[in-house]
């Protein structure tokens, strides 16, 4: 696989400041300094308008993380993260109860137009797994049901669609299906080296409440706990509403190396096809920077560290970090960037796409 050739977005200010990017308060200060005007403009835009953003990236490229960080700065009440995977998992959980099954059947009867009966559709939902996909038509029906709860004046970030070349044509009419007929839509393409994705899959965790993904070695939260009974360290979600929830291994991250490569190649094929589309805005995010360019393009605290944990003599968790260097898809030694830097470039490019 080769890189998409997206340019490195310059985020460097050259100042003496260094923000604690593990802390929501530190991230707020970071974004206020580097994109305060753009954030204010987007907030004002979303008081009356909305938009639809398709997050396009390979598996484990951080689509959910980037969306959550965007929402953190713009306002969670103005952003709806529509994860196709979460929608299907929620439907699967719902039809596992008699009450939920009845409610789903009633909704499908009134809203789902297909050769499948509501009972057959529910059977398809019940049989879903992380290694198989339900039909596009049923997926869109479930999405329509989920989007109806979001409220009209919200920016919608679609995560996980389209997943195949056969779904590309559906994507072109997605906002119409959702009822967002007059709102602008655009693609957000994320270029993340395969070496980073493979490393991320090994041990990625997610909050069971807000579903924000993190990684103990590469993207930790502010607080880290230790489970003495299992003799393992774990991350604690730092989203205030989650009240210290313990993060758990993410479902679907059990692909073997050859399976992951096949999936990444399929995702890359879809992305390259969509990059050719005309008449729709495009945002290009690059998650790595060549080591030789780093000091002129980014502030070094934006570079991803690698974390290791230990306990001191009082049983307190001690965090040790070192810079993380990887080879990008062109074989160039590169630094992986912490999500805030790509999100900063995303905010600035969205501001431009929306012509604010």
Question: pLDDT digit string (tens) for 281-328?
Answer: 999 999 999 999 999 999 999 999 989 999 999 999 999 988 899 999
Q: Counting Cβ atoms within 10 Å, is residue 298 exposed (0-12), middle (13-18) or buried (19+)?
A: buried
Mean pLDDT, residues 225-240 taken together: 93
pLDDT exceeds 70 at position 148: yes
Instruction: Examine the pLDDT at 164 and tell me if it is beyond 70.
Output: no
Write the pLDDT tens digit of every residue in 44-95: 999 988 898 989 999 888 898 999 999 999 999 999 898 888 888 888 888 8
What pLDDT does residue 90 have?
87
pLDDT band at 3 (very low <50, low <70, confident <90, very high): confident
* pLDDT band, residue 133 (cuts 50/70/90): low
Report the chain's terminal Cα–Cα distance, integer Å: 36
Q: pTM score, two decimals?
A: 0.79
Specify the DSSP class assigned to residue 55.
Answer: E
Tell me the CATH number for domain 24-353: 3.40.50.300
* Cβ-proximal residues to 309 (8 Å cutoff; 6+ apart), any chain: 216, 224, 226, 233, 317, 318, 319, 320
Residue 116 clears pLDDT 50, i.e. is over it: yes
Which of 26 and 260 is assigned the larger pLDDT? 26
pLDDT at 33 (0 to 100):
96
């Amino acid at each position: 696989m080769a890189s998409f050739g997206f340019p490195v977005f310059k985020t460097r200010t050259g100042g003496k400041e260094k923000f604690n990017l593990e802390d929501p308060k530190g991230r707020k200060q970071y974004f206020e300094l580097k994109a305060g005007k753009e954030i204010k403009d987007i907030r004002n835009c979303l008081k009356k308008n909305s938009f639809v953003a398709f997050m396009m990236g390979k598996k484990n490229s951080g689509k959910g993380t980037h969306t959550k960080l965007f929402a953190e700065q713009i306002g969670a009440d103005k952003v709806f993260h529509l994860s196709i995977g979460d929608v299907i998992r929620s439907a699967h959980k719902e039809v596992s109860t008699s009450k939920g099954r009845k409610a789903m059947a009633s909704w499908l009867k009134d809203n789902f137009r297909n050769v499948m009966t509501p009972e057959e559709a529910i059977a398809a939902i019940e049989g879903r797994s992380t290694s198989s996909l339900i039909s596009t038509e049923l997926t869109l029906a479930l999405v329509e049901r989920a989007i109806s709860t979001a409220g009209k004046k919200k920016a919608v970030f679609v995560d996980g669609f389209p997943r195949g070349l056969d779904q590309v044509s559906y994507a072109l009419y997605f906002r119409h299906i959702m009822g967002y007929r007059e709102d602008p839509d655009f693609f957000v393409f994320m270029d993340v080296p395969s070496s980073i994705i493979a490393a991320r899959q090994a041990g990625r965790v997610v909050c069971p409440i807000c579903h924000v993904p993190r990684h103990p070695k590469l993207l930790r939260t502010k607080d880290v706990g230790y489970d003495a009974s299992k003799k393992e360290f774990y991350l604690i979600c730092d989203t205030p509403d989650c009240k210290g929830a313990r993060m758990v291994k993410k479902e679907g991250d059990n692909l073997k190396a050859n399976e992951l490569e096949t999936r990444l190649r399929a995702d890359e094929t879809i992305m390259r096809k969509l990059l050719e589309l005309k008449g729709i805005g495009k945002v290009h995010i690059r998650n790595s920077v060549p080591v030789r360019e780093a000091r002129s393009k980014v502030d070094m605290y934006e570079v991803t560290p690698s974390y290791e944990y230990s306990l001191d003599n009082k049983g307190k968790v001690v965090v040790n970090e070192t810079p993380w260097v990887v080879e990008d898809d062109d074989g160039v030694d590169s630094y992986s960037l912490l999500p805030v830097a790509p999100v900063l470039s995303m905010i600035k490019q969205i501001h431009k796409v929306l012509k604010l």
